[in-house]
Amino acid sequence: MNNNPIEHLIKRLAKLPGMGSRSARRVALHLLSDKDMNMDPLQSALQSARDKVEKCSTCHCLDVVNPCSICTHPEKDTTKICLLQSVGDVWAMERTGFYKGHYHVLGGVLSALDGVTPDKLSIGTLLSRLDGVDEIIMALGATVDGQATAYYVAEQIRKTHGDITISRLAYGVPIGGEVEYLDDSTLATAMKSRGAF
């Protein structure tokens, strides 16, 4: 067991997404180079996010209020729900400013390989909020698992709400492309020219 705080910090940082051990070393060095300037604000930002941010129990987005500010927004179209894999996807969609409906964050996609079964995703809460909804827009990414998940969820929706239109983003999107990483105009176009699922 290595108790060296520098090594420990680097190991922790290296676990963050997009961060290799080389970047982790650079960040650790930067933080330690001026603890007051660099570490204290980060520490309080982490603490404040830890204390205040929670998951919306309706759509599973992150916000400081529950239900979240998107779910309670007076100008959002309550008849449309866009189904997305992650909160990052919602942020990307909101950035485009094009879509005016509601969201539902699934929390992943079904995957036999990774042991992701339907009960591990927020499918139940989606099915419980379908009354008054006209359209579900599938935006789960063009991966094999993403599409298989979309088919599964569509099947569940049709069991109880056969009148809901199910559409999906038009994919001018690279195969395997994840929604979060699309540039804003591609995403906006994909939403505008969505087709029947």
Pick the piece of the chain touching Zn ion (CB under 5 A) from 44-52, 56-64, 121-129, 170-178. 56-64
Query: Is 30 strand, coil or helix?
Result: helix
Residue list 68-87, contact with Zn ion (CB under 5 A): 68, 71
Phi and psi at residue 82, to the nearest 5°: -95, 120
Q: What residues contact 74, with CB distance under 8 A and at least 6 apart? A: none
d(CA 86, CA 162): 26
Residues 116-155, interacting with Zn ion (CB under 5 A): none
Q: Which stretch binds Zn ion (CB under 5 A): 27-35, 63-71, 123-131, 175-183?
A: 63-71
Question: Smaller CB distance to Zn ion: residue 59 or 157?
Answer: 59
- In the complex, the smallest distance separating the C-beta of residue 84 from Zn ion, rounded to whole angstroms, is 12
Distance CA 30, CA 42 (A): 12
Task: Give the ranges where 123-183 is alpha helix by DSSP (H).
Answer: 123-127, 144-160
With respect to Zn ion, which residue has the nearer C-beta, 68 or 133?
68
* Nearest distance, CB of residue 87 and Zn ion, angstroms: 10
Q: Which residues bind Zn ion (CB under 5 A)?
A: 56, 58-59, 61, 67-68, 71
